[in-house]
Chain A
Amino acid sequence: GAVVSQHPSWVICKSGTSVKIECRSLDFQATTMFWYRQFPKQSLMLMATSNEGSKATYEQGVEKDKFLINHASLTLSTLTVTSAHPEDSSFYICSARGPTSGSATYNEQFFGPGTRLTVL
């Protein structure tokens, strides 16, 4: 099946610094990628939809200036948490929408392994 990687798998940073997380589709091209955030013992929350070559679409309540998303190629999307604070500590997960099969309109998402961010 399709493989999605994330880097780094975990990161610890000081409050006020910025952190970049990479999401790559390894064996397929993904015009659309998604970013999620998951707090402990909670479900995944969709943050934004990232389309290659265009601006990301953010969900209501997600600050676009705080969470910068760049999708510059068909295999790479990045999420930058700017001026991180302890409340930004979370598990960040990306997914890539799979390639369309013929005339099929479904597109399952393939998820990366996640990045654990801890802000001190």
Chain B
Amino acid sequence: DAKTTQPPSMDCAEGRAANLPCNHSTISGNEYVYWYRQIHSQGPQYIIHGLKNNETNEMASLIITEDRKSSTLILPHATLRDTAVYYCIVGGPNTGNQFYFGTGTSLTVIP
């Protein structure tokens, strides 16, 4: 079963930062937080992952709270192509790195 909860939908103005929250209050010490997104009728695309430190790459930033019970994915300058369903997933070696997807957040970037 999914160990994460996310708001079902969000809107963001083009060019503004999109902040997508995720709760994972039952995360274990060796479990990572992964973020993926899925554009309609395509396979999920990897965005970023982290364990406890904040992470940044060319796509996004990941902010993980100190108690690791929640995180926020930040798309710094949203574009229309960022419209997708964003999934926050928790996984680790103890569970065979299996991914159990929650319902995700449907992000709509508005012109």
Q: Is the CB of B49 within 8 A of A45?
A: no
Min CB gap A49→B, angstroms: 6
Q: Which of B42, B87, B93, B102 contacts A105 (CB 8 A)?
A: B93
Q: Which residues of chain B from 46 to 93 have a CB within 8 Å of any chain A CB?
A: 46, 49, 51, 87, 92-93
Assess whether B111 is interfacial by the CB under 8 Å rule. Answer: no
CA of A45 to CA of B44 in the docked complex: distance in angstroms?
A: 13
Contacts of A105 in B (CB 8 A): 30, 92-93
Min CB gap B45→A, angstroms: 7
A-B contact count (CB 8 A): 62
Assess whether A1 is interfacial by the CB under 8 Å rule. Answer: yes
CA of A106 to CA of B33 in the docked complex: distance in angstroms?
A: 10
Known interface pairs A111-B45, A113-B42. Does A43 touch B97 (Cβ–Cβ under 8 Å)? no
Q: Is the CB of B98 within 8 A of A106?
A: no
CA of A4 to CA of B44 in the docked complex: distance in angstroms?
A: 11
Query: What is the size category of the interface that chain A forms with chain B?
Result: 20 to 34
Q: Is the CB of B44 within 8 A of A116?
A: no
A residues whose Cβ falls under 8 Å from a Cβ of B = 1, 4, 6, 32, 34, 36, 43-46, 49, 91, 93, 95, 97, 105-114, 116
B residues whose Cβ falls under 8 Å from a Cβ of A = 2, 30, 32, 34, 36, 38, 41-46, 49, 51, 87, 92-93, 96-104
30 contacting pairs across A/B (C-beta < 8 A): A1-B46, A4-B43, A6-B43, A34-B98, A34-B99, A43-B2, A43-B87, A43-B102, A44-B38, A45-B101, A46-B99, A46-B100, A46-B101, A49-B98, A91-B41, A93-B44, A95-B44, A95-B99, A105-B30, A106-B32, A106-B97, A107-B93, A108-B49, A109-B46, A109-B99, A111-B44, A111-B45, A114-B41, A114-B42, A114-B43
